[in-house]
């Protein structure tokens, strides 16, 4: 079984911290990317709303012009028909009650035309204002999404940096602690040829002691 030295343990801790930091950084990047995508969709939708409101306003104005043309054409037809009817009956059109009736009919018709124009203008303005309001809300929402994405991006970067610093500090502390424990359990044997045992971590060293007074045997040929 391989031995986990302090250096290996510190390296494993740093590697785990690096993986966690990359994950947090990438998470922040992905969140910011998603928020930017949604914000761009809001901008596109806001543009479409504005264009739709402008088209609706233009349609209302064109329809109002067409209605006025139809009303005036109908008024002209009715006035001519009424004039012919008075003339056919021998009534003088330019004086008296016939003139009053025709003037009243003409005034009522003009009033109807004016009311139609006013309503068309009001509907056109309302459509434009509604489009601007919806477009502004969409753009504001998109801007908030972008800011949220930027905040998530910064949070991911800070989280990654914090993870790296924490893992580095933990790895260094563990490395120092393990290294100190490994070297502090051994004791050196004193000089002078003495033998002995250390009592730290079961490590011992045996040294043979030579007797300086012991006579050496000599052999003769």
Are 141 and 45 a contacting pair, CB within 8 Å?
Answer: no
**Three-state DSSP class for 218?**
coil
* pTM of the predicted model as reported, rounded to 2 decimal places: 0.54
Enumerate the domain spans of the chain.
6-178
* CA-angle at 114, arms to 112 and 118, nearest 5°: 115
User: How far is the C-alpha of 164 from the C-alpha of 171, rounded, in Å?
Assistant: 10
Q: What gap in Å lies between CA 192 and CA 9, rounded to an integer?
A: 39
State the Cα–Cα distance between residues 169 and 74, nearest whole angstrom.
91
Q: What is the pLDDT along the chain (221 residues), one digit of tens a residue?
A: 455 565 555 566 666 667 777 777 788 888 888 888 888 999 999 999 999 999 999 999 999 999 999 999 998 888 888 888 877 777 776 667 777 888 888 899 999 999 999 999 999 999 999 999 999 998 888 988 888 888 888 888 887 777 777 776 666 676 666 666 555 544 444 444 444 444 444 444 444 445 555 555 554 44
At CB < 8 A and 24+ separation, what contacts does 173-177 make?
A: 174/6, 174/9, 174/10, 174/13, 175/6, 175/7, 175/9, 175/10
């Amino acid at each position: 079984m391989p031995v986990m030295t302090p250096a290996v343990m510190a390296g494993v801790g740093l590697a785990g911290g690096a993986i966690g930091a990359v994950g947090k950084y990438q998470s922040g990047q992905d969140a910011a990317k998603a928020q930017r995508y949604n914000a761009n969709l809001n901008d596109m939708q806001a543009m479409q709303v504005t264009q739709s409101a402008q088209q609706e306003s233009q349609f209302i104005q064109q329809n109002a012009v067409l209605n006025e043309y139809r009303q005036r054409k109908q008024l002209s037809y009715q006035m001519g028909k009424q004039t012919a009817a008075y003339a056919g009956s021998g009534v003088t059109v330019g004086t008296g009650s016939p003139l009053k009736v025709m003037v009243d009919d003409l005034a009522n018709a003009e009033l109807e035309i004016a009311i139609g124009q006013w309503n068309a203008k009001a509907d056109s303005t309302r459509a434009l204002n509604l489009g601007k309001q919806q477009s502004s809300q969409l753009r504001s929402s998109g801007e908030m999404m972008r800011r949220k994405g930027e905040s998530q991006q910064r949070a991911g970067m800070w989280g990654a940096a914090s993870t790296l610093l924490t893992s580095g500090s933990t790895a260094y502390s563990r490395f120092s602690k393990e290294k100190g424990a490994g070297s502090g359990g051994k004791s050196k044997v004193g000089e002078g040829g003495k033998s002995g045992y250390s009592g730290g971590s079961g490590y011992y060293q045996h040294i043979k002691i030579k007797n300086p007074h012991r006579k050496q045997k000599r052999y003769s040929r």
